[in-house]
């Protein structure tokens, strides 16, 4: 089968490898679609993300769906939770599986991801897909789960106003979720004009094109979701919430540092929350939202590539010329 491995920054190569043999608790999945996200961009451009570094050629890709290729569930379409927690450590036993210190996460560290024709993955993490959600859209269900977790941290039942600073795919999904909840004021910002336009079309009541030089805004928002991974966006978020408001940090900074003006956050009594990945219930919730058309995933898919075009897919990801880049191994 064809496999794409990252050997070093900007060095991704196609290999011909054997189809994996699934373990007793695993399913063999023929990969239908893989979404490329900001964390994949960090791996591709920097050879790592945060304190995780590339130690061997790695198969990226953690947002994926496909079809079971063998066994009792053969032919079943599934979307996959990429977070394989140990389920036995004290963190897992407390119900925080997404924070498991012994996590095996697809396309991260030493665990190969889905940029290949077939992958073997634990059956308990493979969720059935309704026919209403095609594979390319299903690749956005994991990002929707991430957006849901960030939203949960904000106490959404108390929101009348919100900001989304950074309108890549996850930020745009947060916008859609806020709209579905009936939040009356949604302020969205981004450095890219086409993302600002997308935020406006997806439910933002105000959408602004910012140039990244910081803005002394006093917007009085109940919560701001920082989804850019940029220092200016974090500072803008702290300055834009009301006294006693919340800032939810979702973006991943390239230099592994996040900072803001402490005197403002202290004086205003802000709550700063850091959102990581999604809860185990995230995918079932995301599937239901997509199936009921409460969110529109297909409108985010801007470019599609085959696995043999994976280098071009990463060029599109880095250029940020669209919204979501999807690789479709099954199309080869």
Residue 329: both structure tokens together:
């191994």
Question: Which of 72, 51, 241 is CA-nearest to residue 164?
Answer: 241
Per-residue pLDDT tens over the stretch 235-244: 999 999 999 9
Task: Look at residue 49 and tell me if it is in a domain.
Answer: yes
pLDDT for residue 123: 97
Run means of pLDDT, 10 residues per run, the chain, 332 residues? 96 96 96 95 89 91 96 95 94 91 93 97 97 97 96 90 96 97 96 96 95 70 94 92 95 86 91 91 94 96 97 96 94 74
The Cβ-side half-sphere exposure at 222, using a 13 Å CA radius, reads 16
The CA-based angle 280-289-194, given to 5 degrees, is: 105
- Total domains present in the chain: 2
**Token representation of residue 101:** 């210190």
155 and 114 belong to one structural domain: no
Calpha distance 8→14 (Å, rounded)? 13
Q: Which two structure tokens, joined as six digits, stand for 256?
A: 């592994």
Do both 72 and 119 map to the same domain? yes
Are residues 43 and 28 part of one domain? yes
Residue 116: DSSP 8-state: B
Structural domain boundaries, residue 195: 144-274
Inside any domain, residue 240: yes
Burial code (b: 16+ CB inside 10 Å, e: under 16) for 183-205 equals bebbbbbbbbeebbebbbebbbb
pLDDT tens digits, 276-292: 989 888 899 999 999 99
Within this chain, do residues 235 and 327 fall inside the same structural domain, yes or no? Answer: no
**pLDDT of 213:** 57
> What is the distance between the alpha carbons of residues 116 and 133, in angstroms, rounded to a whole number?
21
């Amino acid at each position: 089968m064809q496999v794409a491995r990252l050997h070093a920054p900007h060095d991704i190569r196609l290999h011909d490898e054997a189809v994996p043999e699934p373990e007793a608790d695993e399913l063999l999945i023929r990969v239908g679609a893989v979404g490329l996200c900001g964390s994949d961009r960090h791996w591709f451009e920097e050879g790592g993300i945060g304190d995780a570094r590339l130690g061997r050629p790695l198969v990226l890709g953690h947002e994926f769906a496909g079809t079971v290729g063998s066994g009792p569930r053969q032919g079943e379409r599934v979307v996959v939770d990429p977070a394989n927690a140990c389920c036995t450590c004290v963190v897992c036993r407390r119900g925080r599986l997404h924070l498991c210190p012994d996590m095996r996460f697809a396309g991260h560290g030493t665990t190969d991801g889905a940029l290949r024709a077939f992958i073997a993955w634990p059956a308990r993490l493979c969720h059935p897909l309704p026919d209403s959600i095609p594979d390319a859209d299903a690749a956005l269900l994991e990002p929707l789960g991430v957006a849901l977790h960030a939203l949960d941290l904000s106490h959404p039942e108390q929101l009348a106003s919100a900001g989304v600073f950074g309108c890549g795919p996850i930020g745009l999904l947060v916008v859609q979720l806020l709209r579905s909840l009936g939040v009356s004021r949604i302020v969205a910002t981004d450095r890219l004009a086409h993302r600002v336009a997308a935020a406006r079309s997806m439910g933002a009541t105000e959408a602004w094109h910012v140039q990244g030089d910081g803005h002394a805004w006093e917007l009085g928002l109940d919560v701001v979701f920082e989804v850019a991974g940029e220092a200016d966006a974090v500072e803008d978020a702290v300055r834009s919430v009301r006294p006693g408001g919340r800032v939810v940090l979702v973006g991943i900074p390239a230099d592994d540092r996040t900072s803001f003006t402490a005197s403002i956050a202290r004086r205003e009594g802000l709550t700063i929350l850091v959102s990581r990945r999604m809860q185990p219930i995230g995918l079932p919730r995301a599937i239901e939202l997509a199936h009921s058309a409460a969110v529109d995933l297909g409108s985010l898919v801007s470019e599609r590539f085959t696995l043999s075009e994976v280098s071009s897919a990463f060029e599109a990801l880095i250029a940020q010329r669209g919204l979501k880049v999807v690789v479709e191994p099954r199309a080869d």
